[in-house]
């Protein structure tokens, strides 16, 4: 069976996103005294830095490879550019721990904004139910980003509100991967 660039892109975004999710979960479990009320990026400093940062960088590289494959497949150029920016931002998060406040913040904001807009834009790039679910995840992430920026945590703490950005984007990556892998091969 021959797979299309879209099928392969789906596999890469799924693997990269799953790798990131597992990297977060394992880092949270291994970080001494870590609680989910803390920021996700705290995992990139200290005893879990190597594990968390390598998962973030691996995710980044697979997102960038996904963007290349989707570009080759003729996917909407704006969508591909947003995906590239998301991947570059994720690379920055992995390279610049939150102890390097400015480059880390720029990188994280790039991931949050571009990833959320990618999810919103999917309504024009994808079909079926995923074209409806995907933007909903983008709206959740963007709303949480605005609330986090305004220091409104809705009882979740800053770390909890940050997760309301991160987890919908992770779900979007996994869902998009599944959607693209399910496209009919040639």
b/e map 136-153, b = 16+ CB within 10 Å: ebbebbbebbebbeeeeb
Q: Which of 88, 175, 89, 163 is nearest to 136 (CA)?
A: 175
| Segments in the chain below pLDDT 70 | 185-186
In the chain, where are the structural domains located? 5-181
pLDDT tens digits for range 55-89: 999 999 999 999 999 999 999 999 999 999 999 99
pLDDT tens digits for range 123-142: 899 999 999 999 999 999 99
How far apart CA 94 and CA 71 sit, in angstroms, is 25
Question: pTM for the complete prediction?
Answer: 0.95
CB 185 within 8 A of CB 4: yes
């Amino acid at each position: 069976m021959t797979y299309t660039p879209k099928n392969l892109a789906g596999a890469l975004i799924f693997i990269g996103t799953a790798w990131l999710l597992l990297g977060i979960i394992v880092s949270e479990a291994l970080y001494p005294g870590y609680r989910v009320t803390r920021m996700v990026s705290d995992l990139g400093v200290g005893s879990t830095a190597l594990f968390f940062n390598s998962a973030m960088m691996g995710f980044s590289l697979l997102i960038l490879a996904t963007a290349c494959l989707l570009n080759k497949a003729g996917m909407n150029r704006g969508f591909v550019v947003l995906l590239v920016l998301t991947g570059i931002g994720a690379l920055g998060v992995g390279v610049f721990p939150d102890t390097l406040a400015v480059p880390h913040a720029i990188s994280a904001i790039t991931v949050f904004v571009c990833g959320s807009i990618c999810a919103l834009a999917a309504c024009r790039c994808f079909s079926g139910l995923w074209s409806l679910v995907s933007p909903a995840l983008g709206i959740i992430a963007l709303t949480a980003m605005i609330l986090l920026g305004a220091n409104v945590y809705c009882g979740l703490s800053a770390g909890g509100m940050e997760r309301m950005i991160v987890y919908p984007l992770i779900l979007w990556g996994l869902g998009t991967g599944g959607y693209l892998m399910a496209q009919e091969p040639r």
